[in-house]
Amino acid sequence: MKEENVLATTMRSYSCGDLDITYLGEEIVICGWVYRKRDLGHLIFINLRDRYGSVQLIFDPQVNPSMHSAAQTITPESSLRVMGKVRARKSEAVNIKMKSGEIEIEVLNFDILSLSKPLPFLLSGEDEDVNQNVRMTYRYLEIRRGRGILHNLLVRHAVIRRIRKYLDDRHFLEIETPILTKSTPEGARDYLVPSRIHKSLFYALPQSPQLFKQLLMISGIDRYYQIAKCFRDEDLRADRQPEFTQLDLEMSYVDREDILQLVEGMVEDLFSVILDIKVERPFLRMNYKDAIEQYGTDKPDMRFDLQFFRLDTALCRSKFSIFQGLEHEMCIKGIKIVGGGHLSRKFLEECNQRAAHLGLRHLFWVKVLADGFTQGISKFFSVEEERIVRMIMDAQNGDLLLFAAQEEKIVNRSLNYIRHFLAEKLQLIAHNLWKFVWILDFPLFEEVEEKNGKRKISSMHHPFTAPLKEDEIFLEHHPLQVRSAAYDIVLNGHEIGGGSIRVNNRTIQDKIFSLLNFSPERIDQNFGFFSHALEFGTPPHGGIAVGLDRLIMLMTQSSSIRDVIAFPKTQSAVDLMMSAPSSVSIEQLSELGLKIDN
């Protein structure tokens, strides 16, 4: 039995995607766009398309000469309403790849609902050379093409729907938090919104609903989530958007393990239902310190190996001048390419050049033979050093070893880059592999350099992150040693989410503010109400925010988050379709009590 036809409207009896051989002989009304048109002189064929599918129309002058002649005026992408009869295609014309491939519609009558003028680029066929800016300007046509973006929007809908179901089933409440909120000069920059009623005062758009979700825990909501729009006015890096969407959630009476299990279960469910992929559980876990040590990054791609080996001690007495007398913050690390002994000098020189772009003075190498190192810098290794390095790196005959010795940050950054470069060039990444890893035990604080060159202490995540219980005693005198109850979830080298257990105690919260060198006035002005709220029986709580744009980008194997957003902005935060931002009138500004100040 056919399902209830929910796509029928007063204008159509079916969608183009409904029709197949089971409708044979039926008189139907369908609407859609002219996708492909072939005028064979005696017959006109049109492929009519809507979101749900496409179907072939046939205009036969023998059957209906007036329809055939009217069809000649139809342009590509015009919108049609077609009354016709479903008939079987001739056997040689059957297209088994299409749902409607066994049928065609004999057109009895049709209306041109809207005739399209010539298009800025072809919607059928490839036409892949079209400038990206033209595609952004005509975003609505780019979506109508129906391949990449429409598919991504369908997946996005399904992903968000499934996440909601998972959380609803666990008693999470979806609650909307304000968009017009208060500016808190923390981290990346706020978008400001001038108030007209209260001149010279401003709202700010939220970078995240952090304080609100914590207040909801204080409110007794117990479990909250939101598919939340967030905003960040920063110089846009490679693949960021000024407004982005995160799954924001928070739970009371939990510790870290509860959040990790919840998220793992959610991701497992999502990948199973949406992609029919079984992800491995439990997810890998790695300390922040180990991640930096072994992969040079806190978002290691675990789909391939190529981890780093620390060689400071092994090579501290090297006769190679570069390895000698390591200064403070200097280190030596190596990477082993199993079976890489065949790699050419040219390739290794390319690696060296690329590492140089990231500040590495030189990427050294040796090849491993059964009886010792050869080529590269092999001559600098003593027998003893060779033995130790071989052991540490478990190097075998035929392997290649790479070495970097410089300031630790540069070593990490450049080897991380080289690691990915190698993985790609040597095709070490198995297709359709999904490797999740939790990064744990981040430092609570980090030292950062200010514009004036001074170093200051700053929150690694945000000031509401709780220290690990066992590290609380170091807060006073060794704050940089304190680890936090923060966690990031990393998928295939992309950070897709992060969260923490929060401070639920005013004394510790105030201590953190003071370590961050916030003035009492600033604390009072920005966070006073919140410190105050902590004192009314705040339950232990924690949560996470998952970047949905990036997650869906990965799930759809898109190359940019722009491809999973209906109306994205460019890298310079411009909406090319609407031309936003744009100038406004002097009157509008004067109503706001503002003046342009160039």
> Could you say which residues in the range 157-176 bind a copy of itself, by CB under 8 A?
157, 160-161, 164, 168-171, 173-176
To the nearest whole angstrom, how small is the minimum distance from the Cβ of residue 60 to a copy of itself? Answer: 24
Q: Does 238 bind a copy of itself (CB under 8 A)?
A: no
Binding to a copy of itself in span 183-222, by CB under 8 A: 183, 185, 189-205, 211-212, 215-216, 218-222
To the nearest whole angstrom, how small is the minimum distance from the Cβ of residue 98 to a copy of itself? Answer: 18
Q: Does 479 bind a copy of itself (CB under 8 A)?
A: no
Q: Does 141 bind a copy of itself (CB under 8 A)?
A: yes
Q: Which helix (H) or strand (E) holds 80?
A: strand 79-88
Question: Coil, strand, or helix at residue 529?
Answer: helix
To the nearest whole angstrom, how small is the minimum distance from the Cβ of residue 548 to a copy of itself? Answer: 9
Binding to a copy of itself in span 432-461, by CB under 8 A: none
CA 485, 489, 494: angle at the middle one, nearest 5?
135
d(CA 392, CA 310): 9
Binding to a copy of itself in span 497-526, by CB under 8 A: 504-505, 525
To the nearest whole angstrom, how small is the minimum distance from the Cβ of residue 286 to a copy of itself? Answer: 21
d(CA 16, CA 47): 10
| Among 329, 324, 341, 331, CA closest to 308 | 331
To the nearest whole angstrom, how small is the minimum distance from the Cβ of residue 19 to a copy of itself? Answer: 15
To the nearest whole angstrom, how small is the minimum distance from the Cβ of residue 534 to a copy of itself? Answer: 8
Q: Which is nearer to a copy of itself, 71 or 292 (CB)?
A: 71
d(CA 342, CA 368): 10
d(CA 554, CA 492): 9
Q: Which of 88, 134, 180, 480 binds a copy of itself (CB under 8 A)?
A: 180
Q: Does 282 bind a copy of itself (CB under 8 A)?
A: no
d(CA 427, CA 445): 37
Q: Does 97 bind a copy of itself (CB under 8 A)?
A: no
Q: Does 134 bind a copy of itself (CB under 8 A)?
A: no
Q: Does 598 bind a copy of itself (CB under 8 A)?
A: yes
To the nearest whole angstrom, how small is the minimum distance from the Cβ of residue 597 to a copy of itself? Answer: 4
Q: Which of 72, 95, 109, 114 binds a copy of itself (CB under 8 A)?
A: 114
Write 282-288 long-range contacts (CB < 8 A, 24+). 283/436, 283/437, 283/438, 283/489, 284/435, 284/436, 284/437, 284/438, 285/437, 285/438, 285/440, 286/437, 286/438, 286/439, 286/440, 287/439, 287/440, 287/441, 288/439, 288/440, 288/441, 288/442, 288/443, 288/483
Q: Which of 108, 179, 392, 475 binds a copy of itself (CB under 8 A)?
A: 179
Q: Which of 19, 31, 292, 544 binds a copy of itself (CB under 8 A)?
A: 31
Q: Does 425 bind a copy of itself (CB under 8 A)?
A: no
d(CA 45, CA 56): 7
Beta bridge partners of 6: none
Q: Which is nearer to a copy of itself, 93 or 580 (CB)?
A: 580
To the nearest whole angstrom, how small is the minimum distance from the Cβ of residue 225 to a copy of itself? Answer: 10
Number of residues that bind a copy of itself (CB under 8 A): 138
Contact indicator for 483, 471 with CB cutoff of 8 Å: yes
Q: Which is nearer to a copy of itself, 230 or 326 (CB)?
A: 230
Q: Which residues of 146-185 are buried (b: 16+ CB within 10 A; e: fewer)?
A: beebeebbebbeebeebbeebbeeeebeebebeeebebbe
Using left for φ > 0, alpha for ψ between -120 and 50, and beta otherwise, residue 503 falls in beta
Q: Which is nearer to a copy of itself, 416 or 509 (CB)?
A: 509
Q: Which of 55, 103, 107, 251 binds a copy of itself (CB under 8 A)?
A: 251
d(CA 385, CA 377): 12
Q: Which stretch binds a copy of itself (CB under 8 A): 138-146, 357-365, 380-388, 428-436?
A: 138-146
Q: Which residues of 23-59 are buried (b: 16+ CB within 10 A; e: fewer)?
A: beeeebbbbbbbbebeeeeeebbbbbbbeebbbbbbb
549, with CB counted inside 10 A (0-12, 13-18, 19+), is buried
To the nearest whole angstrom, how small is the minimum distance from the Cβ of residue 452 to a copy of itself? Answer: 14
Give the pair of three-digit tokens for residue 567: 């109306």
Q: Which stretch binds a copy of itself (CB under 8 A): 228-236, 441-449, 509-517, 552-560?
A: 228-236
Q: Does 2 bind a copy of itself (CB under 8 A)?
A: no
Contact indicator for 438, 489 with CB cutoff of 8 Å: yes
Q: 505: which residues sit within 8 A by CB, 6+ positions away?
A: 534, 538
Binding to a copy of itself in span 11-30, by CB under 8 A: 11-12, 15
d(CA 106, CA 26): 11
To the nearest whole angstrom, how small is the minimum distance from the Cβ of residue 431 to a copy of itself? Answer: 29
Give the pair of three-digit tokens for residue 361: 């003075």
To the nearest whole angstrom, how small is the minimum distance from the Cβ of residue 574 to a copy of itself? Answer: 7
Q: Which of 65, 69, 132, 178 binds a copy of itself (CB under 8 A)?
A: 178
Binding to a copy of itself in span 33-92, by CB under 8 A: 33-34, 49-52, 77-79, 81
Q: Which is nearer to a copy of itself, 119 or 275 (CB)?
A: 119
Q: Which is nearer to a copy of itself, 363 or 565 (CB)?
A: 565
Angle between helix axes 548-555 and 256-275 (nearest 10 degrees) is 40
x-or-dash string of contact with a copy of itself, 381-410, rule CB under 8 A = ------------------------------
To the nearest whole angstrom, how small is the minimum distance from the Cβ of residue 67 to a copy of itself? Answer: 19
| Among 530, 535, 543, CA closest to 502 | 543
